[in-house]
Structure 1
Amino acid sequence: MKQVFLIALTCFYSLTIFCQNDSITSLDEVILLQEFIKKKAVGITTSSSVEITDLEQYSPIDFASGLNEISGLYVLSGALNTNRITIRGVGARTPFGTDKLRMYFNGIPVTNGTGVSTIEAYDFENMGRIEVVKGPKGTSLGANLGGVILLNTKPPEVGSTFLNNTFTIGSFDLIKDNLSFRHSEKNFNLNLSYNHLQTNGFRQNNSFDRNGFLLTSSVKIYPKGKLDFLVNYIDYTAGIPSSINQTDFSEDPRRAAANWLAARGFETNKYTLTGLSHSHFFNSNLKTTNSIFYTYLDHYEPRPFNILDEFTNGFGFRSLTEGKFFNGSFTIGGELYRDEYNWQTFINQFRDNDGNGSLQGAQLSDNNEFRSQLNLFGTYTYQLSPKFTLQAGLAFNQTKFDFRDSFNEGEENTSARRDFDPIVLPSLGLEYRIKKGQLYANIGRGFSNPGLEETLTPDGVINPYIEQEKGVNYEFGGRFLLFKNTLNLSMAAYQMNITDLLVAQRIDEDQFIGRNAGETKHQGIELDLRYRQKIAEKWMLIPRLSYSYSNHSFVDFVDGENDFSGNDLAGVPRHRINSGIALRKGKAFVFNLTHQFVDNILLNDANTLSSEAFTIFNLSTRYNTSISNNLKLGINFGLNNLFNTNYAQSVLINAVGFGGAEPRYFYPGNARNYFAGLRLNYIF
Structure 2
Amino acid sequence: MNYSYAPMCSLMAGTLFLLQPNILFAQAAPELLETLIVSGERSETSVVSQRILIKTAADFSAGARLDPAELLQIIPGVQVDSRTNYAQDTRISLRGFGARSAFGVRGIDLQVDGIPMSTPDGQGQLASVMLDNVASAQVLRGPVAALYGNGAGGVIGLQTEVPEASRISAGLIAGDLGLTRQTLSGEWRSENLALRAQFANTDIDGERPHSSAERHQAGVQLFYTTENNLDVIVKHDYSNDPLLQDPLGLTPEQWRNDPWQLNPAAEMYDTRKTIEHQQTSISLRDNNGATRWQTGLWQGERAITQYLGFAGDAISGSGGVVDLQRDFSGINGSITHSLNLLSWPTEISLGAELAQMQDERRGYVNEFGAIGDLRRDETGEVESRDIYSLIHINPTENLMLYTGVRHTDLDFIVEDSFIVVGNPDDSGARNYREDSFAIGGNYAVTSAWQLFASSGRGYETPTLTEMAYRTGATGLNTGLETATNRQHELGINYNPEEMFELTLTQFFIDTENEIVVDQSVGGRTTFRNAAETKREGIELLGRFTINPNVKLQAGIQSLDAIYSAGQWDGSQLPGAAREQYQLGIQWQPFANDTLRFDLGAQQRSRIYTADNNQVYAPNYTTFDASVRGAYVVQSLQFDWWLKLANITDENYVGSVIVNQANGRAFEPALGRNVSAGIKLIHQFD
- Whether TM exceeds 0.5 here: the answer is yes
Residues 570-585 of structure 1 mapped to structure 2, 5 A cutoff? 570-584=574-588, 585=591
- Rounded to whole Å, the distance in 1 between the matches of 2:527 and 2:465 is 7
| Residues 135 and 262 of structure 1: CA distance in aligned 2, closer, same or farther (over 3 Å) | farther
Cross-structure match for 1:261:
267
- Rounded to whole Å, the distance in 2 between the matches of 1:62 and 1:453 is 25
Residues 273-352 of structure 1 mapped to structure 2, 5 A cutoff? 273-280=279-286, 283-305=288-310, 306-326=320-340, 327-350=345-368
The counterpart of 1:549, out of the listed 558, 568, 573, is 558
Query: So what's the TM-score if we normalise by structure 2?
Result: 0.88
Cross-structure match for 2:316:
none
Shift of 1:53: 2.3
SS at match of 1:604: coil
SS at match of 1:362: strand
Residues 418-433 of structure 1 mapped to structure 2, 5 A cutoff? 418-420=430-432, 422-433=433-444
- Rounded to whole Å, the distance in 1 between the matches of 2:251 and 2:224 is 54
- Rounded to whole Å, the distance in 1 between the matches of 2:540 and 2:207 is 33
Cross-structure match for 2:646:
641
CA contact (8 A) 2:30 2:159 kept: no
| Residues 310 and 604 of structure 1: CA distance in aligned 2, closer, same or farther (over 3 Å) | closer
**Which amino acid counterpart does residue 294 of structure 1 have in structure 2?**
Q
- Rounded to whole Å, the distance in 2 between the matches of 1:450 and 1:46 is 28
Shift of 1:62: 4.0
Shift of 1:222: 4.5
Cross-structure match for 1:561:
none
| Residues 577 and 488 of structure 1: CA distance in aligned 2, closer, same or farther (over 3 Å) | same
Shift of 1:509: 5.4
SS at match of 1:501: strand
Which structure's residues are more often helix, by fraction?
A: 1
**Which amino acid counterpart does residue 231 of structure 1 have in structure 2?**
H
- Rounded to whole Å, the distance in 1 between the matches of 2:230 and 2:70 is 39
SS at match of 1:586: coil
SS at match of 1:552: strand
Tell me, yes or no, if structure 1 residue 440 matches structure 2 residue 452.
yes
| Residues 86 and 651 of structure 1: CA distance in aligned 2, closer, same or farther (over 3 Å) | same
CA contact (8 A) 1:500 1:516 kept: yes
**Which amino acid counterpart does residue 573 of structure 1 have in structure 2?**
A
The counterpart of 2:110, out of the listed 99, 103, 119, is 103
CA contact (8 A) 1:143 1:425 kept: no
**Which amino acid counterpart does residue 650 of structure 1 have in structure 2?**
S
SS at match of 1:138: helix
- Farther off after superposition, 511-520 or 175-184: 175-184
- Rounded to whole Å, the distance in 1 between the matches of 2:141 and 2:485 is 14
| Residues 225 and 33 of structure 1: CA distance in aligned 2, closer, same or farther (over 3 Å) | closer
Cross-structure match for 2:541:
528
CA contact (8 A) 2:120 2:150 kept: no
Cross-structure match for 1:674:
674
- Rounded to whole Å, the distance in 2 between the matches of 1:40 and 1:378 is 15
Cross-structure match for 1:8:
none
String of CA shifts for 1:309-357, please: whole Å, max 9, x gaps.
111001111112233133211232111111110111111111xxxxxxx
**Which amino acid counterpart does residue 52 of structure 2 have in structure 1?**
S
Residues 367-378 of structure 1 mapped to structure 2, 5 A cutoff? 367-378=378-389
- Rounded to whole Å, the distance in 2 between the matches of 1:509 and 1:548 is 39
Residues 120-135 of structure 1 mapped to structure 2, 5 A cutoff? 120-135=127-142
Shift of 1:70: 1.1
- Rounded to whole Å, the distance in 1 between the matches of 2:87 and 2:73 is 17
**Which amino acid counterpart does residue 435 of structure 1 have in structure 2?**
S
| Residues 183 and 72 of structure 1: CA distance in aligned 2, closer, same or farther (over 3 Å) | same
Cross-structure match for 2:424:
412
Identity %, equivalent residues: 21
Shift of 1:576: 0.4
Shift of 1:65: 3.9
Cross-structure match for 2:406:
395
- Farther off after superposition, 628-637 or 600-609: 600-609
- Rounded to whole Å, the distance in 1 between the matches of 2:379 and 2:346 is 46
String of CA shifts for 1:102-122, please: whole Å, max 9, x gaps.
111111122123211111111
Cross-structure match for 2:181:
176
| Residues 223 and 521 of structure 1: CA distance in aligned 2, closer, same or farther (over 3 Å) | same
- Farther off after superposition, 364-373 or 221-230: 221-230
| Residues 179 and 330 of structure 1: CA distance in aligned 2, closer, same or farther (over 3 Å) | farther
SS at match of 1:500: strand
Task: Give the number of the structure with larger relative contact order, counting CA–CA contacts within 8 Å between residues 6 or more apart.
Answer: 2
CA contact (8 A) 1:59 1:638 kept: no
- Farther off after superposition, 113-122 or 403-412: 403-412
Shift of 1:380: 0.8
- Rounded to whole Å, the distance in 1 between the matches of 2:449 and 2:354 is 37
| Structure 1 portions without partners, runs of 5+ | 1-31, 351-357, 559-563, 658-662
CA contact (8 A) 1:310 1:344 kept: yes
CA contact (8 A) 1:370 1:401 kept: yes
- Rounded to whole Å, the distance in 2 between the matches of 1:308 and 1:464 is 23
CA contact (8 A) 2:146 2:154 kept: no
SS at match of 1:172: helix
- Rounded to whole Å, the distance in 2 between the matches of 1:226 and 1:217 is 11
- Farther off after superposition, 216-225 or 106-115: 216-225
Cross-structure match for 1:462:
476
Shift of 1:225: 2.5
Tell me, yes or no, if structure 1 residue 486 matches structure 2 residue 499.
yes
Tell me, yes or no, if structure 1 residue 51 matches structure 2 residue 56.
yes
CA contact (8 A) 1:182 1:191 kept: yes
SS at match of 2:248: coil
SS at match of 2:144: coil
| Residues 165 and 310 of structure 1: CA distance in aligned 2, closer, same or farther (over 3 Å) | same
- Rounded to whole Å, the distance in 1 between the matches of 2:272 and 2:214 is 11
**Which amino acid counterpart does residue 279 of structure 1 have in structure 2?**
R
SS at match of 1:125: coil
Shift of 1:460: 5.6
- Rounded to whole Å, the distance in 1 between the matches of 2:309 and 2:617 is 26
Shift of 1:632: 0.6
String of CA shifts for 1:621-671, please: whole Å, max 9, x gaps.
001111x220011111000011111100001233333xxxxx212000001
Query: So what's the TM-score if we normalise by structure 1?
Result: 0.88
The counterpart of 1:607, out of the listed 608, 613, 616, is 613
| Structure 2 portions without partners, runs of 5+ | 1-25, 40-47, 311-319
**Which amino acid counterpart does residue 267 of structure 1 have in structure 2?**
K
SS at match of 2:255: helix
Cross-structure match for 1:234:
239
SS at match of 1:250: helix
Cross-structure match for 1:660:
none
The counterpart of 2:656, out of the listed 651, 657, 664, is 651
- Farther off after superposition, 40-49 or 443-452: 40-49
**Which amino acid counterpart does residue 538 of structure 2 have in structure 1?**
I
Shift of 1:409: 6.2
| Residues 39 and 466 of structure 1: CA distance in aligned 2, closer, same or farther (over 3 Å) | closer
CA contact (8 A) 2:62 2:641 kept: no
Shift of 1:493: 0.4
String of CA shifts for 1:386-439, please: whole Å, max 9, x gaps.
10000111111111100000121699222111111x111111020112321422
**Number of aligned residue pairs:** 626
Residues 470-481 of structure 1 mapped to structure 2, 5 A cutoff? 470-481=484-495
CA contact (8 A) 2:646 2:673 kept: yes
SS at match of 1:248: helix
**Which amino acid counterpart does residue 516 of structure 2 have in structure 1?**
V
- Rounded to whole Å, the distance in 2 between the matches of 1:34 and 1:598 is 34
CA contact (8 A) 1:140 1:378 kept: no
The counterpart of 1:249, out of the listed 239, 255, 263, is 255
- Rounded to whole Å, the distance in 1 between the matches of 2:82 and 2:30 is 31
Cross-structure match for 2:526:
513
| Residues 415 and 36 of structure 1: CA distance in aligned 2, closer, same or farther (over 3 Å) | closer
- Rounded to whole Å, the distance in 2 between the matches of 1:640 and 1:238 is 23
